[in-house]
Structure 1
Amino acid sequence: MKKKLLLLCVVLMCSLSSYGQSGQIGNISWNITDSVLTISGTGDMPNFNINQQPWYSYRYNIMRVVIENSVTNIGNYAFYNYLNISSIELPHSVTNIGDGAFYGCSGIIDIEMPNSIINIGRGAFHSCSKLANITIPNSVTNIEDIAFVGCTSLTSVEIPDSVIHIGAGAFGSCSNLKRIKLPNNITNIEINTFYYCTSLIKIEIPSSVTSIGDGTFTNTTNLKYVDVYWNEPISINSPVFQNSNLSNAILIVPTGTKALYEAAPVWQDFGTIIERPIPESVSIYASLLVGSSLLLEAEIIPSNTIYQDVTWSSSDVAVATVDATGQVTGVSPGIATITATTDIGGKTASFKVKVKEGVIGIRSDATANSLIDESNVNVSLIDRTLTVNTPDKETIKVYSMIGTLIYSAQKQEGKQTYFVPNLSKEIYIVTGSSGWNAKLLNK
């Protein structure tokens, strides 16, 4: 009899597992089906202890979390150490992510926060070691202590100007974080905020900051640039940059303030202190064409601007991607805008790229975003004879496949023919200054 009863219990448990689990906590309902935990209802999810969530028994089976609209709060420790969660959906009703809510969720790769969140709680994403991408919306005002500690895959994070408080150790031990620009409305940088960010290269600190806590940049051993905007250096203690090799770093200061920083404790320890001319503009031009790829270069004016770095982005990576060097690659037919943004000053220049099968059309005037209708372009190359039929007066150029300029000519409106000497039976790139290019075989 006991054996039969035990068998019945096992069968019953298997049956329940196959159909999922569910429950109710106040106004909040939860349900687990096919490894997806769905939480619905209205108002705040309650706070929990680290191992007392109602779905705790199923923590190893949960791979995806969906919070439905009308839930306003992610409770403290709601998913503490749920190692197999890889995807989270948050609704626009959520305003608070509680303390330790996703602590130790090492399977999460990226998370999109809705533009409703105001507070990111203490340790909310602590030790999310695979978290590589996170967008902090401009609704957020508070990032609490140790919120992102140990997010070792995080390479960059944009903190919006809406943020007025970043807690102690918030980004500590983010060992792959390379750049950080602090928001313009923050006044205090708490202790240990970026400690042990060993890949950090560049820090930008706004003039609104009045104090920097000890240990903030401890062991930022690859630090190369620190940009500051105070007309008079603020007083800081030496532990702020402890073990950060300041003798190898450059401090960039406002024009006319170099002598003040050279005389200020700690700031004077930087190996180089330079005054910063601010970029007036940036333009993009092409320097290399390789098949369906195009290498863009950004030119910053004035040319003596100290910090020349730009960040590249594509409006649609499904159409065209761009890497950190400006290399654009066509992915699928369509139009994407490629933008270069100066890391200092935020000046931008853009290209519109049309990707077609075998052809990328691109306009190289950074001030004009219009793209030529390529139905008006007819180009052929036969036995070193180049025929171009376009409606514009423009400059025609012929490049080798490694980007060497071979031939250039001025073209009048309509159809024109050119003899291009020294061409082999190879593929060449032909461009027009009105914004088109084509890959042609010299038959």
Structure 2
Amino acid sequence: MKLKKVTKLGLGICAFALASTLFVKGNVKADITEGVPLKVGKHVKATLSKTGVLTISGKGEMWEDVDDTAEYYNKWFNNKKSDIYKIVIKDGVTSIGRRAFYQLESVQSVSIPKSVKSIEAHAFRMTKALRKVKIPNSVKNIGVQAFYESGIAKCTFGKNVREIDNFAFAHCNNLRSVSIPSNVKEVGQGAFLESGVSKVKIGRKDAFPVVKATIYSKKVLIGENAFAEGSVLKAYKGSSADEYAKLNDLYIRYIK
């Protein structure tokens, strides 16, 4: 009998500890309600107006959805995904959490303050009505698939962006050209894969060290001496990248 009581007590403590851990990490699903603040970070809250304006305010980071076994949707705003038209993030919020605004299909504009330092994975994924975004100078990292399959046609990068992660802007069909800031150190695999991008401008000389780079775009604008001597480019024969490689005495291999 005592053993049973101890076992039940132990299970109860474990369940409480697990629930507390999940809450701290932000894995608890809670639907947004108009006019009622919803906690989306330790010191961050979300408020939805009757006119469809979603305001994120407070201090510090938004929580991240770290449970990859869960259904792939936004856990806070999914119930209102067709009714949110504008996102306003207030100064003081330092990160846009993983999947924060995932699949908010009606969002047309977003305001990101200078306090935000990172945009996490899938943050704006499938925001199909979003047409432009301005990333402030404070942002250093843009996460995996952050804007994957969004509707953006224009993205202005802040000058201090260091990393554009894998597939960050993949399948953004409306996006035609991008200008990579001079401080970018890494552009991940497929960052602009299957997007509408046909022009890429790299912001400074010697932007990359000796590298092997594959350039799928047939019309790409590359800054003078962007790739160091000894780099190997793989591109389509007759493309602007092919011409660039020849003019700068770089090795060129052709995509078949």
**Range of TM-score over shorter length:** 0.7 to 0.9
Residues 207 and 228 in structure 1, CA contact (< 8 A), matched pair in contact too: no
Residues 70 and 93 in structure 1, CA contact (< 8 A), matched pair in contact too: yes
Structure 2: which amino acid aligns with 1:66?
Answer: V
C-alpha displacement at 1:171, in angstroms? 1.0
Aligned to 1:159: 180
Query: Which protein has the larger Cα radius of gyration, Structure 1 or Structure 2?
Result: 1
Aligned to 1:144: 165
Q: Given the alignment of the two structures, is residue 43 of structure 1 paired with residue 60 of structure 2, yes or no?
A: yes
Q: Deviations over 1:57-106 (max 9, x none)?
A: 11111111111111101000001111111110111110010100000101
Higher RCO (CA < 8 A, seq sep 6+): 2
Write out aligned runs for 1:100-139 (5 A). 100-128=122-150, 130-139=151-160
Q: Given the alignment of the two structures, is residue 22 of structure 1 paired with residue 22 of structure 2, yes or no?
A: no
Q: Deviations over 1:281-317 (max 9, x none)?
A: xxxxxxxxxxxxxxxxxxxxxxxxxxxxxxxxxxxxx
Aligned to 1:251: 243
Residue from 181, 193, 198 that aligns with 1:178:
198
Distance 1:94 1:224 in 2: 30
The alignment partner of 2:179 has SS state of coil
C-alpha displacement at 1:266, in angstroms? 2.2
Distance 1:37 1:109 in 2: 17
How many residues are treated as equivalent by the alignment? 215
Distance 1:224 1:24 in 2: 44
Aligned to 1:208: 208
Distance 2:252 2:246 in 1: 18
Structure 2: which amino acid aligns with 1:43?
Answer: G
C-alpha displacement at 1:231, in angstroms? 7.9
Q: Go from structure 1 to structure 2 and tell me whether the alpha carbon gap of 1:24 and 1:184 turns closer, same or farther (over 3 Å shift).
A: same
C-alpha displacement at 1:132, in angstroms? 1.1
Residues 210 and 228 in structure 2, CA contact (< 8 A), matched pair in contact too: no
The alignment partner of 1:29 has SS state of strand
TM-score, structure 2 normalization: 0.73
Structure 1: which amino acid aligns with 2:38?
Answer: G
Distance 1:116 1:224 in 2: 27
Contiguous gaps of at least 5 residues in structure 2: 1-31
Residues 226 and 251 in structure 1, CA contact (< 8 A), matched pair in contact too: no
Structure 2: which amino acid aligns with 1:234?
Answer: S
Identity percentage of aligned residues: 25
Distance 2:228 2:187 in 1: 24
Residues 104 and 127 in structure 2, CA contact (< 8 A), matched pair in contact too: yes
Aligned to 1:67: 89
Aligned to 2:253: 266
Aligned to 2:28: none
C-alpha displacement at 1:122, in angstroms? 0.7
Contiguous gaps of at least 5 residues in structure 1: 1-15, 186-205, 270-443
TM-score, structure 1 normalization: 0.44
